[in-house]
Amino acid sequence: MKKKKDAKKKDMPEFEFKQFTPEEDKIYEDAISKFRAALDSGKSLREAYASYTIEDEDLGNVIRADFLKIIIAERHFAKGQTLQDLAGVLSVSVDLVQDTKNRMLQEAGVSAASQFGQVVTGLEKTTND
């Protein structure tokens, strides 16, 4: 039975959420604001990303990926815009938007499962069954 549990764990993707320093947090907030303003003025996603330079490439990659997730959450999930329409407005492929949406759902599922596991573990420690 142990092997089945181990095999199941391997199926769950691993996600590491970055913890920002105060300086990185400021860069993050500034970048998101600039990206949003660029999109609101009718620029493509690529043009929005070009509107704000982020010196640290790794941090920039995280921020750009998060921004696309934010836009998908706001426009697709909250406002019901289709992925095809969203891809058109952003001037990106539907595949990129769909893949990002799928990753968002995976991350949410893994995060929820992790939180559930922490709650269950906490309950096990407080019960004496």
Report yes or no on 42 lying in a domain: yes
Report yes or no on 97 lying in a domain: yes
Number of domains comprising the chain: 1
pLDDT tens digits along 15-27: 566 789 999 999 9
Predicted model pTM: 0.76
For the purposes of burial, counting CB atoms within 10 Å of the CB of 127, is it exposed (0-12), middle (13-18) or buried (19 or more)? exposed
| Residue-number span of the structural domain to which 24 is assigned | 20-126
Model confidence at 10: pLDDT above 70: no
Model confidence at 97: pLDDT above 60: yes
| Measured distance CA(11)–CA(16) in Å, rounded | 16
pLDDT tens digits along 25-81: 999 999 999 999 999 999 999 999 999 999 999 999 999 999 999 999 999 999 999
